[in-house]
Structure 1
Amino acid sequence: MNLYASLLRTGVPAAVGWLVAVALRHGLDLDASAVTGVLTPIATFIYYGVFRFAEEHLSPQFGWLLGYTKLADYPIR
């Protein structure tokens, strides 16, 4: 389950970041690949940060917006 949770909580923000970058790109008159290359990690970072903060400080249910409500747990070996 840890692998599943960690993959979802990484993949969902990355996909949302890409979608936001693609959507924003259509309103800008710039090179498409350059804009997407810059905006995707920025949008991903902001999306993850906002909902991780909300999950920790408001309600654990905000975890669904990261793909999974349970934090990935990495046991020490």
Structure 2
Amino acid sequence: MNLYVSLLRTGVPALVGWLVALAAGYGLDLDPAALAGVAAPVVSFVYYALFRTAEVYLSPRWGWLLGCARPPQYPVGKAALPPA
């Protein structure tokens, strides 16, 4: 379940950033490559930071705008990778 939640909470801001960059290209005389290369990641980061901060400091309900109302929970003290 953690994998699903983490992927969802990464994918939703990326999708929002792409859609905003795409929408910004309409009506503006901007280079599409610049929009895709700069605007999409910046908007994605700002979107995630805004709603993650709101989720922590205001209410967990804001997490729904990231795709899931709770961040993934990782066990404490376990190694991230299996032993070699």
**TM-score, length basis structure 1:** 0.92
Count of aligned pairs between the two proteins: 77
Superposition misfits of 4+ residues, deviation over 4 angstroms: none
- Structure 2 gap ranges (5+): 80-84
Equivalents in 1 of 2:45, 2:29: separation in Å? 24
User: Structure 1 vs Structure 2: percent identity of aligned residues?
Assistant: 60
Give the Cα separation in 1 of the matches to 2:58 and 2:50: 11
Where do residues 1-77 of structure 1 align in structure 2 (5 Å cutoff)? 1-75=1-75, 76-77=78-79
Instruction: Give 1 or 2 for the bigger CA radius of gyration.
Output: 2
Moved more, 9-18 or 30-39: 30-39
Partner Cα distance (1:45, 1:14) in 2: 8
Return the offset for 1:70.
1.2
CA RMSD in angstroms comes to: 1.0
For 1:68, give the aligned amino acid.
Answer: C
| Structure 1 unaligned regions, length at least 5 | none
Q: Which has the higher contact order (CA 8 A, sep 6+)?
A: 1
Kindly indicate which of the two structures has a greater share of residues assigned to helix.
1
